[in-house]
Structure 1
């Protein structure tokens, strides 16, 4: 994986479980956004096989990472997990960014 800006990658399954159980969750048109407030700055983009073949899944994750990276200065520290939805394949990039921005506000992650 790598990192996005100053955010490190989430690689431990225990961190995923902790965020899923205790974090704030919001469904938007393009993704399901999980956020757990923390001093750590971690991020992960996930795309399941429901999205499509490997090329489609990787493209979805790249788009989520880029949209997240573009907004990283306007969000709080914490652990973010973005799970791609099938609808995001047909969305324009500006729609994707707008949806994520709205989701960050709704879960209390926006500064």
Structure 2
């Protein structure tokens, strides 16, 4: 994912947490907010150490990034922060994709 599509700084995460709205299901929490400065989406991912070792956490993050790259054209240009919950550690990609689509439909982010 290119740099302009990523949220990396703590300051940016905190801004999305404070000014954004949250939507959740059992597997994911998605915070989102509008950013008038950009015309594209930005993504931040948070995976707790409770979900597993570094290999497992990075695998979850890769799958979330792939989902957002795959559905980039159908998502509204906003800032997204995705937090993975415990059940995600036992899911395969297709289950994660279905769950993320469910949360984003609740949030009305899909065009």
TM-score (norm 1): 0.85
How many pairs align?
108
Corresponding position of 2:17:
20
Gaps in structure 2 of 5+ consecutive residues: none
The structural deviation recorded for 1:30 is 2.4
Q: Cα RMSD over matched residues?
A: 1.7
SS at match of 1:50: helix
SS at match of 2:71: helix
Corresponding position of 2:6:
9
The structural deviation recorded for 1:33 is 0.9
**Larger helix proportion of the pair:** 2
Gaps in structure 1 of 5+ consecutive residues: none
SS at match of 1:94: helix
Corresponding position of 2:28:
31
SS at match of 2:48: coil
Corresponding position of 1:63:
63
Distance in 1 separating the partners of 2:9 and 2:49 = 21
Moved more, 76-85 or 30-39: 30-39
Kindly indicate whether the alpha-carbon contact (under 8 Å) linking 2:30 and 2:80 is maintained by their aligned counterparts in 1: yes
TM-score (norm 2): 0.85
